[in-house]
Amino acid sequence: MTLIIMAAGMGSRYGGLKQLDPLGPGGEFLLDYSIYDAIKAGFTKVVFVIKKENLELFRETVGERIEKAIKVEYAFQTIEDIPENGTIPEGRVKPWGTAHAVYCCRKYVDEPFAVINSDDFYGAEAFKCLADYLGKTQANDNIHRYSMAAYMLKNTLTENGSVSRGVCLDKDGNLTSITEHTKIERLSDGRLINTDENGKIEELDENLHVSMNCWGFTPEFFGTLEKGLNDFFEINKGEKLNKAEYYLLTAVQDEIDAGTATVKLLETDAKWFGVTYKEDRPKVVEAIRKLIADGVYPEKLWK
């Protein structure tokens, strides 16, 4: 099994390349802990999706220590890596979103794989659940069998601002819909709300399942992304294409709606943490130190 880590985005709210901010006592980054947990769960290769200009930085700070424990590949997310019928509008600089990031890995993956963000802490349970499900996944009458680690909304918040989360609905344990909520925050009275782009406020149940971009896929998903990108370029034209992005949750939802895939929700009570904002950093450092004190991780991961 392969682990794809999306690490091409700069942390605009955080203010820099937060993927490479040392948070562990041995200089570890959050992605170090994800890789450590993935190896324990049975993953044998990691593919970093990065910007080409960051290759040497990644090799020096991550690759040289990780490659002693697991096979490492680098995939570059570039604006030019698109299907033949795609066009790049004048003025477009950034790549095409999270689904495009995974598409850029197609040459490096030919087995069941997981996809995660580089700047989130998911916990060992998530990787074990994904590995167990991926290991049992079998082709069945042309229905793709995917999975997603589902977190409780209350376990994915920060005290330092709003967060963006994909809110999930399911039937019999399978995902039926996922809706992006881009400004979720807890009020002083304890309520959780989302404010949409028009200013409309919706109160949310803190026990809702949400996506943290922790997915399990089979290689057939790359065909889905190829078709999805073709559709993306057909639908988004002119000025619209300058800002449009193709998201993983869109690709997954399209397959669910078409009846070509099921997505098993793998529920976890694990508490997420990450560095969405600079102010999150001290609490993340504290949380890692507690996990080390509790014996979950060694003082230095790659000693």
- pLDDT tens-digit readout, 255-275: 999 999 999 999 988 888 888
Q: What is the pLDDT of residues 177-234, one digit of tens each?
A: 998 898 999 998 989 999 988 889 999 999 999 999 999 999 999 999 999 999 999 8
What's the pLDDT at 16?
Answer: 46
What's the pLDDT at 11?
Answer: 42
Q: Tell me what the mean pLDDT of segment 137-145 comes to.
A: 73
Q: Tell me what the mean pLDDT of segment 136-154 comes to.
A: 83
Does residue 153 register a pLDDT over 70?
yes
Provide the whole-model pTM. Answer: 0.91
What's the pLDDT at 138?
Answer: 62
What's the pLDDT at 133?
Answer: 93
* Residue-range domain boundaries for the chain: 2-293
Does residue 281 register a pLDDT over 70?
yes
Does residue 297 register a pLDDT over 90?
yes
Does residue 88 register a pLDDT over 50?
yes
Does residue 12 register a pLDDT over 80?
no
Using pLDDT thresholds of 50, 70 and 90, give the confidence band for residue 18: low
Which of 233 and 139 is assigned the larger pLDDT?
A: 233
Using pLDDT thresholds of 50, 70 and 90, give the confidence band for residue 276: confident
Does residue 13 register a pLDDT over 60?
no
CATH classification code of 2-293: 3.90.550.10
Lowest mean per-residue pLDDT among 15-24, 128-137, 208-217: 15-24
What's the pLDDT at 15?
Answer: 42
* Percent of the chain clearing pLDDT 90 (strictly above): 60
Mapped to the 3 state alphabet, what secondary structure does the chain carry? Answer: CEEEEECCCCECCCCECHHHCCCCCCCCCHHHHHHHHHHHHCCCEEEEEECHHHHHHHHHHHHHHHCCCCEEEEEECCCCCCCCCCCCCCCCCCCCCHHHHHHCCCCCCCCCEEEEECCEECCHHHHHHHHHHHHHCCCECCEEEEEEEEEEHHHCCCCCCCEEEEEEEEECCEEEEEEEEEEEEECCCCCEEEECCCCCEEEECCCCEEEEEEEEECCCHHHHHHHHHHHHHHHCCHHHHHCCCCCHHHHHHHHHHHCCEEEEEEEECCCCEECCCHHHHHHHHHHHHHHHHCCCCCCCCCC
Q: What is the pLDDT of residues 35-62, one digit of tens each?
A: 999 999 999 999 999 989 888 888 888 8
Q: What is the mean pLDDT of the chain?
A: 89
